[in-house]
Amino acid sequence: MKYKIPVILKILKCIFDNNIGYGSINHPVDVCLECQFSGIIPQAYDKCQSNNIRRIRQITGYLTGDLNSWNSAKRSEEHDRVKHGINENK
């Protein structure tokens, strides 16, 4: 997590410098309910081959529960989002 702090600070500075009234930093949180791994879990999960994954995401401004409770339109919106990565080596 430490490697993300400078990036988060840059984002917050940009929000502040541009008088953005509402800004948000979002990140996916997945938990395998079989092996208890927590992190970003791909659809094809190789570690324990479980499909029992809880995926927490933000939708329409709110951090909501598991993707399984979302309707098809909200799932489509989440699927179509641009995913940004952070280079851990920087």
54, 28 Cβ separation under 8 angstroms: no
Classify residue 64 by burial, with Cβ atoms within 10 Å: 0-12, 13-18, 19+: middle
Write out pLDDT tens, residues 32-56: 999 999 988 888 888 999 999 998 8
What is 49-63 written as a DSSP string?
A: ----EEEEEEETTEE
pTM over 0.85: no
- Domains in the chain: boundaries: 25-80
The larger pLDDT score, comparing residue 82 to residue 9, is at 9
